[in-house]
Amino acid sequence: MIATSLPENDTTRPLRVREFFLARQPILDRNQALVAYELLFRNAATGPANVTSDLSATASVIAHTSQLGMEKVIGDALGYLNVDAAVLMSDIFQFLPREKVVLEIVETMKVTPEILARIEQLVKEGFRFALDDVIADTTEVKQLLPLVEIIKFDLRDMPLSALLKLTPQFKLAGKALLAEKVETQEQFDTCLKLGFDFFQGYYFAKPVILTGKKLSPSQLAIMQLMGQLNSDADTADIERSIKQDVSLCFNLLRLVNTPAVGARRRIDSVNQALMLLGRSQLQRWLQIMLYAEPCKKGHCMTPLLTLAATRGKLLELIAQQVEPRNQSMADTAFTVGIMSLMDTLFSIPMKDILEQVAVIDEVCDALLHRKGVYGSMLRLAEHMERIEEAGSMLDELIDRLRLGSEDLYNLQVSAFEWGDAVARSAH
């Protein structure tokens, strides 16, 4: 573990990896493209519902993340990290890749001449800063304003009237505006009109059900093919179905030759893809193709694809940890994870989707009611994504699935890496 020059007392002792949970929350731009993640750490050692506000303790965690290679956690995106006075005055910055991070100054920090001088020095060294949870144009905000590039507003704490008043003056000052806790499409639209540049929250993963919405022909073709695979159709019939849809055939061959699949040699035909991948792997790539489809038409749904692929992989890895010898459980877990966002993808209720794809009862129970072992895995993944709201539920689910927090951290990092690789290959 890397040492940091933080005061040595109980509240600032370095955290070891197994003592914390990590979440990454997507930050999108005005075109809905994924540009960054905020990394949130929750201390597992201090009991339920404690998002670690003692940032000094997370300093060693930050060091650890950069040691592991931050690109594993954030891929091509930027990483937003919270910093307080203790972290700012520490030597943690020698471990951070300045071109990959934005440092968020927490709203509770007292601004002193020493702190201002330190931030100035770090800006000169190439670090970028954001000001977190701004609710008024205070003296402290005015002091920090010249040194920061981004102003963050938490929509839960800000009435619309305050946003209307504050945003124009920060825009005039040339600052980028970031809205966090954006939970609905309406909130996103409002902030877009107000000139916000970035949006953090899970509004893009919320289903907006449209009555009478139908699947596109290519989505329908993929769903029918998934049905054939589920019903153990003859390989020749499956091959015929794929070949009937030229774009499906082309996209499938393109996807199965990406590094995320890990094929040892180039796959040139549908027959080869079926032979080498096997049915469960083919099923997986068809599910991914459903999310990749909108990306082709210029509607950037990469955040949804990344989230679905990461969820699928995380559930698969959890299943492998829970029952190492049960490959079919791992395949089912992947399906539950990736299908859990299909109501958002299609704007169709989950119940209607499950009527079109034959899945086993346990998958239905997990997707509709979050029940059974797969339901527990899915709830765990959802709680990990929204770590600040997870409360004691996170600890209960980890106990129920017999996982350690260190195991979970390692599985998460693998899932992040895989999900990011899949999203890259879908473009």
Which three-class secondary structure string do you get for the chain? CCCCCCCCCHHHCCCCHHHEEEEEEEEEECCCCEEEEEEEEEECCCCCCCECCCHHHHHHHHHHHHHHCHHHHHCCCEEEEEECHHHHCCCHHHHCCCCCEEEEECCCCCCCHHHHHHHHHHHHCCCEEEECCCCCCCHHHHHHHHHCCEEEEECCCCCHHHHHHHHHHHHHCCCEEEEECCCCHHHHHHHHHCCCCEEECCHHHCCCCCCCCCCCHHHHHHHHHHHHHHCCCCHHHHHHHHHHCHHHHHHHHHHHCCCCCCCCCCCCCHHHHHHHHHHHHHHHHHHHHHHHHHHHCCCCCHHHHHHHHHHHHHHHHHHHHHCCCCHHHHHHHHHHHHHCCHHHHHCCCHHHHHHHCCCCHHHHHHHHHCCHHHHHHHHHHHHHHCHHHCCCHHHHHHHHCCCCHHHHHHHHHHHHHHHHHHHHHCC
Do 68 and 134 belong to one domain? yes
Task: Establish if 193 belongs to a structural domain.
Answer: yes
Do 177 and 104 belong to one domain? yes
The domain of 284 spans 217-425
What pLDDT is stored for residue 312 in this prediction?
Answer: 97
- Computed on alpha carbons and rounded to an integer, the radius of gyration of the chain in Å comes to 23
How many folded domains does the chain comprise?
2
Do 21 and 145 belong to one domain? yes
What pLDDT is stored for residue 270 in this prediction?
Answer: 85
Q: Which residues are within 8 A (CB) of 296 and not within 5 positions of it... i.e. 6 or more apart?
A: 251
Task: Establish if 175 belongs to a structural domain.
Answer: yes
Do 110 and 198 belong to one domain? yes
Encoding tokens for residue 280? 């469960």
Task: Establish if 177 belongs to a structural domain.
Answer: yes
Q: Which CATH number fits the domain that encloses residue 173?
A: 3.20.20.450
CB 229 within 8 A of CB 282: yes
Task: Establish if 123 belongs to a structural domain.
Answer: yes
Domain boundary among 155, 176, 205: 205
HSE-CB at 320 with a 13 A cutoff on CA atoms is 15
Q: What is the pTM of this model?
A: 0.88
Do 272 and 418 belong to one domain? yes
What pLDDT is stored for residue 4 in this prediction?
Answer: 37
Do 316 and 229 belong to one domain? yes
The CA distance from 87 to 118, in Å, is 11
Do 251 and 315 belong to one domain? yes
Do 149 and 278 belong to one domain? no
What pLDDT is stored for residue 215 in this prediction?
Answer: 83
Q: Which CATH number fits the domain that encloses residue 390?
A: 1.10.3210.10
CB burial readout 33-42, b (16+ within 10 A) else e: ebbbbbbbbb
Domain boundary among 185, 205, 225: 205
Do 240 and 312 belong to one domain? yes
What pLDDT is stored for residue 373 in this prediction?
Answer: 97
Do 339 and 382 belong to one domain? yes
Do 348 and 409 belong to one domain? yes
Domain boundary among 205, 240, 257: 205
Q: Which residue has the tokens 């399906």?
A: 335
pLDDT tens across the length of the chain (427 residues): 233 333 333 344 444 545 677 889 999 999 999 999 998 877 665 444 444 445 555 665 676 666 667 778 898 899 998 888 888 988 888 778 899 999 999 888 899 999 999 999 999 999 999 999 888 888 889 999 999 999 999 999 888 899 999 999 999 999 999 999 999 999 999 999 999 999 999 999 999 888 888 888 888 888 889 888 888 888 889 989 888 888 888 888 887 887 777 777 888 888 888 888 888 888 898 999 889 876 655 455 579 999 999 999 999 999 999 999 999 999 999 999 999 999 999 999 999 999 888 789 999 999 999 999 999 999 999 999 998 888 788 889 999 999 987 788 889 999 999 999 888 887 6
